[in-house]
Homo-oligomer: A and B are copies of this chain.
Amino acid sequence: MLESIALGMLLEKDLTGYDIKKFIENGIGVFYKASFGSLYPALKRLTEKGYLTTRDKPQGSRKKIFYHITEEGRNQFFHWLSSPMDIFEGTNTHLAKVYFFDHLEAEIRSQQLLEYEINNRNYLKKLRELEKGFTELDNKECFYYKLSTLYYGICITEETIRWCRHIRMQKPLTDLLERER
């Protein structure tokens, strides 16, 4: 996963490990996190496999290693990019918790759900600010899909908030599916 993402970040220009981390944070940080502890070894592996080459460009006495994607690296990346997309299979800690909420005291339960709703509202605010920054640009066609992931985040977060409010108030579950709003 991280290997593919690192390759993707190097498609357009050579970057250092530190840069790649930044690109990941700013680009897909909303739904993907990488730590140096996993990134640097990943870059090493990619280099060993021949998907990347390195160029040392120390600046003053500061170490700096630029990574460059090779032709095989590109192929590998596009192979990953073209591989089938199954439905989301990840695990969701929060849902696992809610599953057991019938056993929890009503007070703690509603406090938990309220907190969750608030966290999601704050998150949504953050996403909306990111969106605002983008809508002001004019060459949006060039990164329609990049932007689409941000919109996915917004839609899903809004839906999560709706769900949260609904079950916090213990409204009938079937009502959740009839949305006019």
On A, residues with C-beta under 8 Å from B are: 1, 4-5, 8, 11, 27-28, 31-33, 77-78, 80-82, 84-104, 108-109, 112-113, 115-116, 119-120, 123, 135, 140, 142-149, 151-157, 159-160, 162-163, 167, 170, 173-174, 176-177, 179, 181
Contacts and interface: CB of A to CB of B under 8 A. Distances in A.
A118 to B, nearest CB: 10
Given A95-B28, A102-B143, A123 B156 contact: no
B31 A92 contact: yes
Contacts of A103: 8, 11, 78, 81
A101 to B, nearest CB: 4
A5 B4 CA distance: 32
B119 A1 contact: no
A146 B93 CA distance: 14
A99 B27 contact: yes
A146 B104 contact: no
Given A116-B85, A179-B181, A167 B148 contact: yes
Interface SS of A by simple majority: helix
A160 B159 CA distance: 10
A78 to B, nearest CB: 7
Given A84-B112, A94-B88, A100 B145 contact: yes
Contacts of A145: 98-102, 109, 167
B173 A151 contact: yes
Given A85-B119, A115-B85, A170-B144, A96 B179 contact: no
